[in-house]
């Protein structure tokens, strides 16, 4: 069966510091992968999606970037965090039509 992992689970970072969040998927090959952000009490905002290694599409202009160095690995990064980057970051992969989400990373920028 397929499993999706994210780490870290929680993170507290100061403004201006770098960020690296990792997502890995097991049990499937060549998945479509997605990064979402969810602010407190808000809906899901699609940040990036990838249909293959090195293929990244950005939906929202911001100070975040994404990379897909391996088929089942998706990384979200920032060089300098902003207060507004705080939120719940979710990685997901797509089955036939539905999406399966990881456990998420709670990021607090102080």
- Rounded to whole angstroms, how far apart are CA atoms 35 and 19? 14
Task: Please tell me whether residue 30 binds another protein under the rule CB under 8 A.
Answer: no
Strand, coil or helix: what is 75?
strand
10 Å CB burial of residue 96 (0-12, 13-18, 19+) is exposed
Q: Which is nearer to another protein, 17 or 55 (CB)?
A: 55
One of 2, 84, 99, 108 touching another protein (CB under 8 A): 99
Task: Please tell me whether residue 102 binds another protein under the rule CB under 8 A.
Answer: yes
- Rounded to whole angstroms, how far apart are CA atoms 74 and 76? 7
Which range in 61-69, 70-78, 79-87, 98-106 contacts another protein by CB under 8 A? 98-106
- Residues 34-53 interacting with another protein (rule: CB under 8 A): 34, 42-44, 46, 49, 51
Between the two ends of the chain, the Cα-to-Cα distance in Å is 38
Task: Please tell me whether residue 101 binds another protein under the rule CB under 8 A.
Answer: yes
Task: Please tell me whether residue 73 binds another protein under the rule CB under 8 A.
Answer: no
10 Å CB burial of residue 77 (0-12, 13-18, 19+) is middle
Give the interface with another protein as residue ranges (CB under 8 A). 34, 42-44, 46, 49, 51, 59, 88, 90, 92, 94, 97-104, 106
């Amino acid at each position: 069966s397929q499993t999706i992992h994210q780490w870290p689970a929680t993170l507290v970072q100061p403004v201006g510091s770098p960020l690296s969040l990792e997502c890995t998927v097991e049990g499937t090959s060549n998945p479509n992968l997605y990064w979402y952000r969810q602010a407190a009490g808000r809906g899901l905002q699609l940040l990036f999606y990838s249909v293959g290694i090195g293929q990244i599409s950005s939906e929202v202009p911001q100070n975040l970037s994404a990379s897909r160095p391996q088929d089942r690995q998706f990384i979200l990064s920032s060089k300098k965090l902003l207060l507004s980057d705080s939120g719940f970051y979710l990685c997901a992969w797509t089955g036939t039509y539905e999406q399966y989400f990881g456990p998420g990373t709670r990021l607090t920028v102080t």
